[in-house]
Amino acid sequence: MRILLIDDDVELCSLLTEYLGREGFPVESAHDGNRGLARALAGDGDLVVLDVMMPGLDGFEVLRRIRRESRVPVLMLTARGEDVDRIVGLETGADDYLPKPFNPRELAARIRAIMRRIEPRSPDSASRLEVNGVRLDAAAREVSVGGSPVEMTTFEFDILEFFMRAAGRVVSRDDLMEHLYSRKATAFDRSVDMHVSHLRKKLEKDRVIIKTVRGVGYQFCRTPDEGVAE
């Protein structure tokens, strides 16, 4: 799997290229937002690692423009302690984030977690789900509501599939974090909440499909009647 690294820190890019190469990930680098955007849209990476703080075209604007045309997974590098960067990144369509400075081993682990979820699957009956008017094809990674296609980011799709396979049951935030990120939830980690919020906006027009069970987690409603009490 090819990694496109967009970061103006040339020394960091060199170090990560060497480390990730040893881990089996070929890396291409771009050191400014405009070049990185062009290469991302040209398909030069199966996953983009994108720094927020860059001169000129910053990481947020690069991500906005990528998301207009592509669903390529994007992992953002944010400043440690800057919660607003993480929230804005997730709202814009990032799949995950990692605060700087970070351990390269954690970056590699997060890349592998994303790649495992987007590996192509063989089509079979179990890969197609339909619950409460929502259709999901896991092999094709396609979603439709009421017959209309809905665009999903990598994480939105994976959360939806997890919810639909557990329809009617309450799924905890910890369960989602373990499934999606292979790590425990923390009090300051807003990633799951942001992805669920985006998912609701895309799925719910005139009815509740994903209920919040306060203090516990979320529940995907099996029928329209289950969402009435929200």
Residue pointed to by tokens 């050191």:
31
| pLDDT greater than 90 at residue 78 | no
Structure tokens at 99: 């605060």
Contacts for 147 with CB less than 8 Å, ≥ 6 apart: none
Burial of 43 (0-12, 13-18, 19+ CB in 10 A): exposed
Q: Which of 100, 88, 31, 32 is nearest to 64 (CA)?
A: 88
Q: What pLDDT score does 126 carry? A: 66
- For 13-34, how does the pLDDT look when each residue is reduced to its tens digit (9 = 90+)? 999 999 999 999 999 999 999 9
Closest CA to 1 of 24, 19, 28, 30: 24
Q: State the amino acid at position 107 in one-letter form.
A: L
pLDDT score at 17: 96
168: pLDDT strictly greater than 50: yes
Q: Where do the structural domains in the chain lie, given as residue ranges?
A: 3-118, 125-227
pLDDT of residue 230: 45
* Fold topology of 125-227: Arc Repressor Mutant, subunit A (1.10.10)
For residue 62, give Cα distances in angstroms to 77, 94, 111, 141, 189. Answer: 13, 11, 19, 24, 23
Q: Are 151 and 201 in contact (CB under 8 A)?
A: no
CATH number at 3-118: 3.40.50.2300
Is residue 3 within 8 A of residue 45, CB to CB? The reply is: yes
Confidence of residue 120 (pLDDT cuts 50, 70, 90): low
* Nearest by Cα to 103 from 174, 23, 185: 23
Percent of the chain with pLDDT over 90: 52
What stretches of the chain show up as alpha helix (H) in DSSP?
10-22, 33-41, 59-69, 83-92, 104-118, 154-165, 173-181, 191-203
